[in-house]
Amino acid sequence: MTYDATRGPARPDPSSAAITGLTTLAWYAVPDLVRPRWARALTKAAVAVAGLGAGLVVTTEGRSARDGLRAAMTVSDAADVPEGVDGRGGRQSDENGVPGVEDESLAQVDPRLAGAVVAGSLAAGVALAVAGEKWAYRRGEKWRAKGLTLPHTRVGLIVGAAAAGLTLLEPARAVEDDREVDDPVAPRAPGARQGRR
């Protein structure tokens, strides 16, 4: 999803949903088209690269990512040390005294706890992804044993449709979230209610 500060959250990008759905379909259809395991791995890698490439070229999010990368490269080429950064890589306080990276509240976080949370989150994400992949492959193999034609492609159609639908729902969810949260900086009229509008 993209965000424009002047207009708020963007509308769903149909090209993003199409690329997500088609890439997911192609990913899960590979076992129907390629039998050797090593060839399936190479083909799935090619599908992932093609989907990522298409996403960067065609979608609104991809164009935003490319523009941001170009802007970051321009800033880094402009000077060795950007303004507001000290020699150690930390942000200096601005004229209002607002601290940057060297905020003391960050020192209160135990690095072992932060590392454990990150490692646990990564492990859980990988475990869920592997479990989902195994389920999808087993489902396709069960359908193949029943004699269905293109069983993995059928799994891909189901999962791809779900992925495309979720891609279309993301901006709508963000708009709803934006409506539920009031701006804490905005002044309120006396007697105005807080909460949902």
Query: What are the residue ranges of helices labelled H in 59-150?
Result: 60-78, 104-107, 111-145
pLDDT in tens, 45-97: 999 999 999 999 999 888 888 888 888 888 766 555 555 555 555 555 555 55
| pLDDT for 69 | 86
Contact 26/156 with Cβ under 8 angstroms?
A: yes
CA distance linking residue 7 with residue 2, whole number of Å:
11
CA distance linking residue 124 with residue 104, whole number of Å:
31
Q: Does the pLDDT of residue 39 top 60, yes or no?
A: yes
Contact 170/1 with Cβ under 8 angstroms?
A: yes
**Token match 């992949």: residue?**
133
Report residue 62: phi and psi, to 5°. -65, -40
Q: Does the pLDDT of residue 13 top 80, yes or no?
A: yes
* Bridge partners, residue 9, by sequence: 3
Cα distances (angstroms) measured from residue 92 to each of 28, 71, 101, 105: 49, 22, 8, 15
| pLDDT for 135 | 95
| pLDDT for 181 | 46
Per-residue confidence band for 190, with pLDDT thresholds at 50, 70 and 90: low
> Between helices 14-33 and 151-180, what is the axis angle to 10°?
150
- Where are the chain's structural domains? 8-78+132-180
pTM for this structure?
0.64
